[in-house]
Structure 1
Amino acid sequence: MTGTPAHGEQMLDINGVELCVETFGDRADPAILLVAGSSASMLWWDAVLCGRIAAADRYVVRYDHRDTGRSTSYPPGEPGYSFADLTLDILGIQDALGIERAHVVCQSMFGGSGLILGVDHPGRIASLTFVSTSTGADDLPPPSGDLAMPPEPDTGDVAAVVEYVVAGARAYSGGSPYFDEAAVRALVERDVARARNYASTLVNHYSIASAGPVGGGFGDIAAPTLVVHGDHDPLLPLAHGEALRDAIPGAELLVLKGAGHDLPEPVWDDFVSALVRHTRGARP
């Protein structure tokens, strides 16, 4: 490891790569590890949101996936890792920070990591929260017909890249009244400027094959589970969240009214309250 686990942002050697990790709160409190969605660095878990969770006596960890932010990057279209490697990075971060069991919160594509951890590594998971994700069942509704994505940008044109990502975030909001374009643009500008190679950020997570657990499926998850889903989600309509809730024994569903495929600030009160309650009773 390149640094001693401490508060703030740090570069850690995890599974042979560098991952940028940031912590909030008291490390003696129950740990909540936030796993962002595809192509999303830690910045998409807003620092103010992380601070609000930490203020509820939680030790919050966010990090840059490989090919996002300051973490190790690979050439565009040539990710030198598998979906399983990205999932094992979560356990590597727990090891580096001395966290035996974490409350893991997985968003969108990386709900697949939550599934793998819950089934194949249950001893490392105190609870699971799935945000804007799905079982992937064939009978679930497809993305909304209104989900129009912009054409891919020239990655050498920073302004075009920013416009492309902002337009994608707007589309993924599903017409949410909470979409704040100015705030999203500021976030994207920071994200693009901070990344080692944003061209790789845009494509590499989509270049790896998804993978499932060895030991079973959603019905084999024993960890307490919370499913969080926006009722405006155009990529994975609400039926996906309902199906996920039904597939996991004892799972609860929090529907975020007015939210799309994201966590806009006006729903933070509901999200934080539910997450704190969910992680209060689960064994650390």
Structure 2
Amino acid sequence: MIKRVAANGIDIAYDSFGPPSGRPLLLIMGLGAQLIQWDEGLCELLAEQGHHVVRFDNRDVGLSTHFHDHGVPEAGTPAPYTLNDLADDTVALMDVLGWTAAHLVGASMGGMVAQTLAIRHPKRVLTLTSIMSTTGPSVAPPTEAAMAVMAGQLPEDRDTAAEQAVTTWSVIGSPGYELDRDRIRQLAGQAYDRSFDPAGVARQMAAIVASGDRTEALAHVRVPTLVLHGEDDPLIPVVGGQATAAAIPGARLVTYPGMGHDLPRELWPEFVAEITKLTDSIQA
């Protein structure tokens, strides 16, 4: 069941899996992606391994607060907010949940938010897992094909949004695994129904750019860190994961042939095993 709570001056929508007595595990999604992009099946697998799993909508997506008054950011103007604000939103949600600290798992922009949180609020982080992410916007530029599909024309309706999602994931998804077109259409339609706000995605993108490179700051992170990345990711190439692991002392890097910029169902058991190994090593 989706809940909405006040945190850091905004409303944040979230839901959870597993018993509250489990190890606190917070899932942070990427650019323009809603909490539903953390598939319920993956969340349940993590819960089965003793985690209390929470997934949520970042600001400007889904059912959390949208900053409509800021419109679409224009070049040369300050971003309405930065990744610092997204990290602080996440900490405020943890406060509402009663979590003094949590295991963080962030995908893509969510990995950037998790990294930023570990930098800004190190005592609130038990472990850090950064998936298909990077240390800064210029470290791992996308391929031309990925850039083109991400900059495509905005859909005019729900059906068009679903078909464009299939086109997008056929380019940036995992070439080594079969594309589940029906599931992609279903999720895209569900996301459209929950909230369709391209300007919000643009504001998140502005936050990424405005936040710059984290390499120097990540050198001071001392929490146990896992970096997962696809070797065939065209949106954030594997060099982004390599740079993240190199920046954080003691980080463990695991890469997957055939994985692109998504979370293939076939790899869920491996993701869960790696994350559980990390969280098992720390007592909250």
* TM-score, length of structure 2 as denominator length: 0.88
Unaligned 5+ segments in structure 2 are 74-78
Residue 28 of structure 1 aligns to a residue in which SS? coil
Counterpart of 1:9 in structure 2: which amino acid?
A: I
2:43 pairs with 26, 47, 50, which one? Answer: 50
For residues 44 and 267 of structure 1, what CA distance do their matches in structure 2 show? 15
* 8 Å contact kept, 1:178–1:259: no
Deviation of 1:256 (Å): 2.5
Between stretches 168-177 and 24-33, larger displacement belongs to 168-177
- Tell me the residue number matched to 1:28: 21
Which of 53, 63, 66 is matched with 2:59 structurally?
66
Distance (Å, rounded) in 2 between the aligned partners of 1:19 and 1:44? 16
Between 78-87 and 102-111, report the one with greater CA deviation.
78-87
Letter of the 2:72 partner, please give it.
G
The residue type paired with residue 77 of structure 1 is V
Stretch deviating more after TM superposition (270-279 or 72-81): 72-81
Answer with 105-114 or 203-212: which moved more: 203-212
Shift of 1:136: 3.0
Q: Distance in 2 between matches of 1:185 and 1:151?
A: 19
Cα distance, 1:253 vs structure 2 = 1.1
Give, in whole Å, the separation in 2 of the partners of 1:83 and 1:163.
30
Structure 1 residue 223 displacement after superposition? 0.2
The normalised TM-score by structure 1 is: 0.88
State the alpha-carbon separation in 1 of the partners of residues 60 and 117 from structure 2.
21
Q: How many residues align?
A: 275
Q: Answer yes or no: is the 8 Å Cα contact 1:228–1:254 preserved in 2.
A: yes
Give per-residue Cα distances to partners, 1:101-160, cap 9 Å, x unaligned: 10011111232222222122111000100000112385x554234434165334543332
- The question of 1:118 aligning with 2:118 is answered yes
Distance 1:250 1:258 in 2: 26
For the residues of structure 2 that align with 1:153 and 1:163, how far apart are their CA atoms?
Answer: 12
My pick for the range that moved more, 231-240 or 87-96, is 231-240
Q: CA RMSD in A?
A: 2.3
Q: Pick the structure with more helix per residue.
A: 2
Q: Residue 226 of structure 1 corresponds to which residue in structure 2?
A: 226
Cα gap change, 1:55 to 1:218, in 2 (>3 Å):
same
Q: Is the 8 A contact 1:12 1:19 kept in 2?
A: yes
Using the alignment, how far apart are the partners of 1:262 and 1:210 within structure 2? 25
Change (3 A) 1:12 1:236: same
Q: Which residue does the alignment assign to 1:11?
A: 4
| Range moving further from structure 2, 220-229 or 145-154 | 145-154
Distance, in Å, in 2 between the alignment partners of 1:154 and 1:260 is 23
Q: Which residue is equivalent to 1:206?
A: 205
Q: Which runs of 5+ in 1 are unaligned?
A: 1-7
**C-alpha separation between the residues in 2 aligned to 1:117 and 1:67?**
18
* Structure-1 separation of matches of 2:128 and 2:212: 16
Q: 3-state SS of the aligned residue for 1:217? A: helix
Deviation at 1:27, TM superposition (A): 1.1
Q: In the TM superposition, what is the alpha-carbon distance from 1:11 to its structure 2 partner?
A: 0.7
Equivalent AA in structure 2 for residue 280 of structure 1: D
Tell me if structure 1 keeps the 8 A contact 2:102–2:124: yes
Percent identity of paired positions between Structure 1 and Structure 2: 30
Residue of structure 1 in register with 2:269 after alignment: 269
For 1:42 and 1:184, locate their aligned partners in 2 and report how far apart those are by CA, in whole Å. Answer: 14
1:17-42 deviations in whole A, cap 9, x for unaligned?
Answer: 11111111111111110000010010
Partner of 1:3: none
1:198 to partner: Cα distance: 2.8
For 1:14 and 1:213, the matched residues in 2 are separated by 27
The aligned residue for residue 182 of structure 1 is 182
Give, as a single letter, the amino acid of the residue that structure 2 aligns with 1:32. L
8 Å Cα contact 1:19-1:65 kept in structure 2: yes
Cα distance in 1 for residues equivalent to 2:62 and 2:113: 19
Residue 77 (structure 1) aligns with: 72
* 1:160 equivalent in alignment to 2:155: no
Alignment partners' CA distance in 1, 2:42 and 2:57 = 16
Q: Secondary structure at the match of 1:271?
A: helix
Q: Return closer, same or farther for 1:157/1:278 CA change in 2, 3 Å cut-off.
A: same
Q: 1:70 to 1:137 in 2, by over 3 A?
A: closer
Closer, same or farther: CA 95–232 of 1 in aligned 2, 3 Å:
same
Output the CA distance in 1 between the equivalents of 2:178 and 2:210.
Answer: 31
